[in-house]
Structures are given as C-alpha cells and as structure tokens.
Structure 1
Amino acid sequence: MKVQIVEVGPRDGLQNEKEHVSTAAKIQLIDKLVAAGLHRVEASSFVNPKWIPQLADAEEVLKGITWSSDVTYSALVPNVRGMERAKASGLTEIALFMSASETHNKKNINKTMEETFPVLREVAREALALGMRVRGYVSTVFGCPYEGAVPIDNSRRVTHELLEMGVFEVSLGDTIGVATPKQVREVMEKIVKDTATERLAGHFHDTRGTGLANVAAALDVGIRTFDSSIGGLGGCPYAPGAAGNISTEDLVYMLNGMDWDTGVNLERLLEAGAFIQEELGRELPSKVLKAHLAAVKA
C-alpha cells in the first residue's frame, strides 16, 4: 500500500521564517530531502518577492539544486508572470492557490473568489499549453480565521472549478489547524463523491495537535497523497507561536508503523531535519526529530 508525500517545507515552511535563510541552506535542504527518497518537492514560490521576501531567491535556489530525473520539483505561482518565471527556471509543475472562504481569499490574494477564478484559469491554460502540470491548493477548507466554519459546498465548488481548469490534483487544506478526524471524514467523503480520490490530497496543520489523526481519517476515506513539512516548519500566521504544517518525519514514522509504503528513508530524512534545525538555530516542532536528537545526545 503506497502513500505519496509532497514535501512543502522549502516553500510553505520557510516562507514563514522571520530570520533570513541563506540560498545555500535552501539548496542543501532540498538536496537532502531528495536524498531521503522524497519524489515530490515544492521548492519555492514565484509570488512577488515584496509579499514573501523569504523566497525572493527562487531562481537562484532552482539553479543551485542537484536536479534528479525521478523527482518532480514545483513552485507556487499567483499569476502568468509567476508561471513564466517558474518555466524559465526549469520547472515542469506549478501550484495555484485560493481559499474556500471569501474573507480569507480577499486578505490573502486581494480578490474575491469570483475574481480569482478567471486569473487562475488563465494561468492554468498557459501552463498546460507549455506542457506543465498544474496542482491546486484550496485553503481554509475546515475553518477560516475570519469567518469560522466554512460551508462544504464552498470547498466542493472551488475543487470542481480547479479540476475543470485542468488541474491534476487538488490539495485540501486545514490552513489554521482546526480540523478534527470526524470533520475530515465528513468533508472528504462529500468531496470524494464529486471526484476520484487519486485527484485529491490532504494538507493538514498541527496547530491544535490533530494533524496526524486527520491524516489517518483521510486515509480511511481513500486519500493517498499528503503534504508535509520537514521538521514541522511553517508556523501558522493566524495562531502565533503554534505549530504549523505536520512534520514529514512524524508522518513517515506513523505511516511506516501502519505498513504504508512512502519510499522515504527515515534516517536520511532525520538528517535533513537536523540540518535545517541547526541552520535556523531553534528547536523545530517535529516530535520524531526531537526524540531522535535526544537519543543521539544520550
């Protein structure tokens, strides 16, 4: 039984870091993640550097990594200009993003949901014409920091629109980490009725400690692709001080124990986690990484 892991640490994780992370460190991190057996890595973002200065060196990072033919590297893009930069950097896959809640979408993209669809449709059309694959992210599926509960029909509609644009996979996100396993089953079961499970992925945050439990719930529904971040990088901007994305080390450890095949070497993965923790100079949230480093010191 196989599960795909999409490593989002170099993008979704590092974009939230306050301290500058060197281009060289990002390059080393990506290479270490690939060496650990990860075959899908979101390497950076081509969003305007004014919005996300931490990832302003996207071109330099992609120029410096050791490209592997059996790895899909991708980047987040907001518009055609970002897509063109990604293509020029050698990427064959990009990711689009929008929210399932109106207020979050306005604050995150500065557009209403209705205004966002044509923009994403144009980007998808141009990317597909260039032979690129397009992935989609839907934020705030399980809760919005401004509106609270988000109607399931919002997420179903956004997912449907993205798939209609030619997106090959839609990642359903618990952006602020409020979801519980019961809610994940209820939401996923309804969205799965509209589309095949192999075209859906789960993107969970561990803000309230339910991240891995939510993965288990999504597995029960038939989801087999999950986003995660090395070391648990990516603290939630709407919950200061809270843990962010689920940790790749924790996810791999759990899946291994459940007899799922991830193709990831946990020991090599822990080396990558220890590396970026050292670079950042602070302890990361990953519990498996903490246990490993404590055992090494003992």
Structure 2
Amino acid sequence: MERIHITDVAPRDGLQNQRVPVLTGAKLELIRRLAAAGVQSVEATSFVSPKAVPQMADAAALVPQLKTAVPGLRCSVLVPNLKGLERAHAAGAEEIAVVLSATETMNRRNINMGLAEATEVSEQTLAAAQRLGLRTRAYVAVAFDCPFEGATPLDEVVRLARRMHEAGAGEVVIADTIGSAAPGQVKARLAALREAVPVDRLAMHFHDTRGMGVANAWAALEAGVRRFDASVGGIGGCPFAPGAAGNVATEDLVLMAAQSGFDAGISTDGLIDAVDYAEAQLQRPLGGRSITWLRRQREKARETQTG
C-alpha cells in the first residue's frame, strides 16, 4: 500500500480555540497518545501572544518536555515572526511553521499586518529558521475562500505558494481555513499549484465546515498529494476566522485512506483512545464522522477476544 503522511494538528490548531483551559500535562498526554497510535508528526503548539491565544501560553514550558515524553516524534510549532522563532528556538523546537494568509484582510485580522509585509516577514522567518538548522513548513491560509473578502483568487494562492517554496519551506501547506472548498475546486487549484511547487512538497489542510473534508482529501490524493494535516476527534476552528468548524478528523482520514489503498501507519483504535482523552479534557463529545462506527468495531473486536 502506498504511504501517506499525516500531521496531527490537534495540540495546536485543535486546542487554540477551545474555551476549556487545557493544562500542559494534559497536552503532553494527548500528544503521547497520538504517538502511541502511530502518528509520526504533530503540530504541538504556537509561540504567539498569550493575550491573543491564551490556550498556547505554555508553549515555552511544553516544548522542552516533548523529547522526553515522545522521543522520535516530529513536533512542529507555529511562529508568527522572528520574535516567535527566537522563543521557539530557545525552548528547543526543531521544526517551525509560518502562516501567510492569501488576502489582505485576513492578514490584518490574524497578525495585524498587510499582505506584502506578512509575506516578507514569513520569508525572513523561514530564512532565519534555516540558518538555525530547523525544519520548516509554510501555510498559505484562506487558500479557497476568505471570511472577509470572499473567494480567494487562484493566481494569488499560486504566487504565495511559490514564494514560500522559493523561501525554502520544506512543506507548503494549502489551507482551506474556513472549510468552504469542494473536491472540484481542490483538483483545479492543485493543477495550478503543481506548476509552482513540486507535489511532494505540497500538503493539504482541510476543515469540515460543510462536511466535505474527507472528500476534499480524496480529491487531493487523486491529484498526487500525499501529505495532509488532520486533527484527532475533529477538534479545531480558528479564533480569527468566523464560522470555521473543526479540522478534518484524523480518524476519518486514516479510515478513508485504508479503505482506498493507502496506508497512514496509524491505528484507529489508538486514535479512539486519544479522542476519549480529549473528550475528558474538553468536557464535550468529540469525534469525526466515523467515530461511532469505529467505536462499535472496537467493541465487537473486544467481545470476540473475550468470548
């Protein structure tokens, strides 16, 4: 079976918008459970202003503990600028990600600067990270639609993706930030993006606002993409993108891939354990569209073993 690579973004993108505070130890335990399920890459936290995103205020305390808690796990952290990069590097981060929104208004709402300045800051941050020997990712956010400006022009998405690739980003992540994309749009955008960025450097980041997250992932698979972001339990949202629902659930993506001839190397039973733990921490039901079926299958297997 052909392999796909999934970065679970629940610890950062999933938790950043949650109202229930999650303690550092609980975040470590969630990441540990993801690693135990076979997840090889996570986005662990972000070095942003604690006033803007209080849930990420413990980033400098979390990162140093990751090597001991989950040795061998690839852990990325989000940094908004050079100051965030300095903090991340001081904490021991080995991989960073920058976020560049593809519209003027989204950049101003998200990071309080215009598109041109945000592009320069992202390029400077990527260059500085490479000088430090860090792995790098670059998000192109609102790559389909912007909650403030409407449809995002394709040529702008391609231009920014090319800029991030030329700046040295190891992965360029095309993000459907508000979950408005449909499979046909995914294929059309990827046809153009593949002309600007090698497909093995492209990753896709889908939200499930309109229930098409997994369908969009399948369209991306058909277009040659093999790298995806997902969030266990479908946890997610964006504090600066009104109406955005959770990310596509890791368990849904893993199940779809497995039943379509792809291997993510991740156990759905292990993911259920992570969902159960996240539910207890956030004090509400979680899970992707497949979670009820997956739980039934696990119970049947246990009954067979004990019977």
TM-score normalised by L of structure 2 = 0.92
Partner of 1:4: 5
- Greater mean alpha carbon deviation, residues 230-239 or residues 265-274: 230-239
Counterpart among 165, 168, 173 of residue 166 in structure 1: 168
Q: Residue 259 of structure 1: CA displacement?
A: 1.6
Counterpart among 245, 264, 278 of residue 262 in structure 1: 264
Q: Residue 48 of structure 1: CA displacement?
A: 1.4
Structure 1 gaps, min length 5? none
Q: Distance in 2 between matches of 1:210 and 1:239?
A: 18
Q: Residue 193 of structure 1: CA displacement?
A: 1.4
**CA separation of 1:295 and 1:264: change in aligned 2, threshold 3 A:** closer
Aligned-CA RMSD value: 1.7
Q: Distance in 1 between matches of 2:204 and 2:113?
A: 25
1:140-155 matches, cutoff 5 A: 140-155=142-157
Q: Distance in 2 between matches of 1:139 and 1:124?
A: 16
Q: Residue 266 of structure 1: CA displacement?
A: 1.5
**CA separation of 1:236 and 1:50: change in aligned 2, threshold 3 A:** closer
Q: Distance in 2 between matches of 1:209 and 1:64?
A: 36
User: Identity of paired residues, percent?
Assistant: 43
CA contact (8 A) 1:142 1:150 kept: yes
Q: Residue 293 of structure 1: CA displacement?
A: 4.1
Partner of 1:38: 39
**Across the two proteins, how many residue pairs are aligned to each other?**
297
Partner of 2:304: none
Counterpart among 96, 104, 107 of residue 106 in structure 2: 104
- How big is each residue's C-alpha offset from its partner over 1:160-219, in whole Å with a ceiling of 9 and x where there is no partner? 111111111100000111100001000111111122100100000000001000000011
Q: Distance in 1 between matches of 2:198 and 2:30?
A: 33
Partner of 2:303: none
Secondary structure in 2 matching 1:118: helix
- How big is each residue's C-alpha offset from its partner over 1:209-240, in whole Å with a ceiling of 9 and x where there is no partner? 01000000011110000000010001355454
Partner of 1:208: 210
Q: Distance in 2 between matches of 1:182 and 1:8?
A: 25
CA contact (8 A) 2:181 2:216 kept: yes
Partner of 1:278: 280
Does residue 1:80 correspond to 2:116, yes or no? Answer: no
Partner of 1:26: 27
Secondary structure in 2 matching 1:94: strand
Secondary structure in 1 matching 2:145: coil
Letter matched to residue 132 of structure 2: L
CA contact (8 A) 1:207 1:236 kept: no
CA contact (8 A) 1:232 1:246 kept: yes
Partner of 2:53: 52
CA contact (8 A) 1:79 1:120 kept: yes
**CA separation of 1:272 and 1:285: change in aligned 2, threshold 3 A:** closer
CA contact (8 A) 2:268 2:294 kept: no
CA contact (8 A) 1:135 1:169 kept: yes
- Greater mean alpha carbon deviation, residues 283-292 or residues 207-216: 283-292
TM-score normalised by L of structure 1 = 0.95
Q: Residue 297 of structure 1: CA displacement?
A: 7.8
Q: Distance in 1 between matches of 2:15 and 2:71?
A: 24
Q: Residue 285 of structure 1: CA displacement?
A: 4.1
Q: Distance in 2 between matches of 1:117 and 1:236?
A: 20
CA contact (8 A) 2:12 2:45 kept: yes
Secondary structure in 2 matching 1:27: helix
